[in-house]
Amino acid sequence: MRVITGIARGRKLVTPEGIDVRPTTEKVKEGIFSSIQFNIEGAKVLDLFAGSGQMGIEALSRGADHAVFVDNSVKSLRCVNENLCNTGLSRQAEVISRDSYDYIRLTAQKFDIIILDPPYRYGHIPNLLPLAEKKLNNGGFIICEYEKEAESPQAPENMVLKKTYRYGKINVSVFVKPLEEDEE
């Protein structure tokens, strides 16, 4: 696993070992970032269920200003910190050891891009989407990665499904929160 492009291009990333960890493939990662490529520069990113941190690191490498990495696994957080150090992106990052549900409910921070890649087969995405929408800036994106057998997530009330991508056994849905229309 490596950073695909940007200032940390080609840097290798470590991943936590174990059956609970399922790193996003490079093909899927490239597809995700291609779909939002013009919205990354200067963005504030939340990588929930961070795992190795590769998604938030890819965003930082491509020009995001700041990324918050949340996971409650000690092994995962060690990998995130090691990967941030190895890519030289630590100063733009905040790594938080916390349950993802607690974090998304309680944080006062707002984000431009929220990445939801929770463990499969637990039905997390339908529960997390409405919580994440409340922490998203207008014009922002929520990216959801889930197994193809799962029911496609529905857009929260104030969001629109931009597109769902299919990559073999993985689906990725990208939701956007429209900009508020200017009042005249």
What CATH architecture is 26-176?
Answer: 3-Layer(aba) Sandwich (3.40)
Which helix or strand (DSSP H or E) is residue 165 part of? Answer: strand 160-167
Burial 26-60 (b: 16+ CB within 10 A, else e): eebbebbbebbeeebeebbbbbbbbbbbbbbbbbb
Assess whether pLDDT exceeds 80 at residue 98.
yes
Flag whether the pTM goes above 0.75. Answer: yes
How does pLDDT run across 37-89, given as a tens digit for each residue?
999 999 999 999 999 999 999 999 999 999 999 999 999 999 999 999 999 99
The pLDDT assigned to 20 comes to: 59
Closest CA to 96 of 146, 46, 171, 155: 46
- Domain boundaries, given as residue ranges, for the chain: 26-176
Closest CA to 116 of 131, 97, 106: 131
Across the chain, what does the average pLDDT equal?
Answer: 91
How large is the average pLDDT for residues 30-34?
A: 90
CA angle 125, 126, 127 (to 5 degrees): 90
